[in-house]
Structure 1
Amino acid sequence: MYCAELGISYEIVPTKFDEVKKRPFTDINPNGRCPGAIIQYIIEQYDTEKTLTYNTLQERHHLKQWLQFQMSG
Structure 2
Amino acid sequence: MITSAVKGLTEGTTDLVKKAFDGSIAGGNFVGSAGIADYHDFASVVPMDVQEKVAGVVAGLKDGSIKTGVTL
Instruction: Tell me the TM-score normalized by structure 1.
Output: 0.36
Higher relative contact order by CA 8 Å / sep ≥ 6: 1 or 2? 2
Which has the larger share of helix? Answer: 1
**TM-score, normalised via structure 2 length:** 0.36
